[in-house]
Chain A
């Protein structure tokens, strides 16, 4: 039987605020245990939560960026369950009336665009951390993370493969960083995905029973966990069994998912509106203010690059993979006054290659956009050829100064003088009569050999386009 995979993703994005969602304690990662957990966070009796404006504004930002409805009135609810890292015995979340409803995110899967619909995004607080090792049979509880603002972003069951799920997660990850609401640091748990996975016979209308795989904190684990889970469910069904609705954990060591708890009891959360918190009302002015502060979004930028700069969908996608890359590109073409394709290919080629080898992000690049512009200008006005430009690039990367200084110091000039090149080429033709004959007999490859010889004769400093032209003229003339 042919099976169809159905996936929905819930993402917890930690909002990058200085203080917690309901208290004035700091949210900084990596502090000593419990030094950032105040009376509200550890649930001492008599305390009251007070909502952080920045958390609300960041949620609205996301809502506007995905074209969602911003609910002018939303309500906080208590989600009740017992766990030691949740000292109140409930998590403050939003249930019936979330702040963000609907919306969608365009996703590129290979070169095909797909729209993933969103159900909602709601504000909630994070729980603390439980440490189960080395405490003489007890668990250690660190409540620094308790009360950190989260935006839970929920999709419709719109994805049909692990590949699509990963493409969505990457697009969302890029977006939350792009609009500055989340640092996206997956190692530190700032961006965590849960995948709801089910399978059904191809063509079936009803959804199969789903399993939820929790806390996937890398794109690779997300992909592996879904692929494993799909295989597990299909095998179960093909053996005449049935899938039990449950929460599962992914074990990256064994590359398997395993049952965490059955949904039956633990998920009776008995939500009800939190009497400690009044309804959240967001004014139309606030929404318009936030809308006016939104940067140009990746999708719009990508389309603009394709339309105005004639870049391929792939190149436009690479250049809009993060706001830092797009900023670098835009600074570069501004300094060049054009050169859209040249700038694009140098960023995606030489610069990304060098950054990757050095394990650096673009914001840490030793070559600034201004410096790279200096180099590309020399290529544009034929002062140096491509091979020399690479040499200059490497020297710039190693801190030898700006393009101009390096070109001077190394005596790099391109031979573009037609008479000088013609003399050199005459010599090459005379010395390579065999190749000339071969070319005239119709062997195209011989031409390349002659170009190579001519470049060699110029010690690599010839203008390749000119050499091509002169050679062609001489051979055919």
Chain B
């Protein structure tokens, strides 16, 4: 499998990364190299090997359902570009 240039541009758009045509072409080459590596790995026979969802073979630890966090919004909002009445303000996005 390899990616076409329009596919690279679409992925960049989905990730909200602005790239020039030259950067897209470079990224296309790098990504396709990665795909080659994946193809190489996929040629290994993994029949009989259970798929892993994580690199470490351990399981999720659970926490008890207790409220442990206190209100820190004033600290967090000190670095926000714009706030009002406790709300973070952002450019209007409405669909």
What's the least CB distance linking A435 to chain B, in Å? 72
The tally of residues in B whose CB lies under 8 Å from a CB in A reads 36
Q: Are B62 and A51 in contact (CB under 8 A)?
A: yes
Residues in A whose Cβ lies below 8 Å from that of B58: 278
Contact of A277 among B60, B64, B82, B90 (CB under 8 A): B60
Compute how far the CA of A113 lies from the CA of B40 in the bound complex, rounded to whole angstroms.
Answer: 55
Considering the chains assembled together, what is the distance between the CA atoms of A141 and B95 in angstroms?
16
Contacts of B72 in A (CB 8 A): 38-39
CB within 8 Å of A: which of B75-91?
Answer: 76-77, 82, 84-91
- Chain A hits for B56, CB < 8 A: 278
User: With contacts A83-B93, A135-B87 known, is A25 near B69, CB below 8 A?
Assistant: yes
- The complex places the Cα of A139 from the Cα of B63 at a distance, in Å, of 34
Tell me which residues from 33 to 72 in chain B have a Cβ below 8 Å from any Cβ of chain A: 53-56, 58-69, 71-72
Q: Flag whether A281 is at the interface (Cβ < 8 A).
A: yes
Q: Is the CB of A84 within 8 A of B93?
A: yes
How far, in angstroms, from A277 to B61 measured CA to CA in the complex? 9
Number of residues in A with C-beta < 8 Å to the partner?
53
A167-B39 Cα distance, complex, nearest whole Å: 50
> In the complex, what distance in Å separates the CA atom of A26 from the CA atom of B59?
25
Q: Least Cβ distance of A213 to chain B in Å? A: 14
Cβ-defined partner of A268 (8 Å) among B14, B60, B71, B76: B14
The main secondary structure of chain A at its interface with chain B is loop
Tell me, in angstroms, the Cα distance from A83 to B89 when the chains sit together. Answer: 13
A108 to B12, CA, bound (A): 49
- Point out the residues of chain B lying under 8 angstroms from A26, CB to CB: 67, 69
On whether the beta carbons of B95 and A261 are closer than 8 Å, the reply is yes
Of A39, A131, A261, A270, the contact of B87 (CB 8 Å cutoff): A131
Residues of the B chain whose Cβ atoms lie less than 8 Å from the Cβ of A55: 65
Contacts A33-B85, A34-B73: A138 and B62 contacting too (C-beta < 8 A)?
Answer: no
Once A18-B65, A19-B65, A53-B63 are accepted as A-B contacts, the answer to whether A37 and B73 lie under 8 Å apart by CB is yes
Docked CA distance A116–B35 (Å): 43
Out of A24, A32, A97, A265, which one reaches B86, CB within 8 Å? Answer: A32
Whether the Cβ atoms of B71 and A139 lie closer than 8 Å is no
Jot down 8 A-B pairs with beta carbons below 8 A, ordered by A.
A18-B67, A19-B67, A23-B69, A50-B62, A55-B65, A139-B94, A275-B54, A275-B55
* Chain A interfacial positions (CB closer than 8 Å to B): 17-19, 23-26, 32-39, 42, 44, 50-56, 75, 80, 82-84, 97, 130-132, 135, 137-143, 260-261, 265, 268, 270, 273, 275, 277-281
Chain B interface (Cβ within 8 Å of chain A)?
Answer: 14, 16, 53-56, 58-69, 71-73, 76-77, 82, 84-95
Known: A34-B76, A143-B88. 16 other contacts (CB 8 A): A19-B66, A19-B68, A23-B69, A26-B67, A36-B71, A52-B65, A53-B63, A80-B14, A82-B16, A84-B90, A140-B89, A141-B89, A260-B95, A275-B54, A279-B59, A280-B60
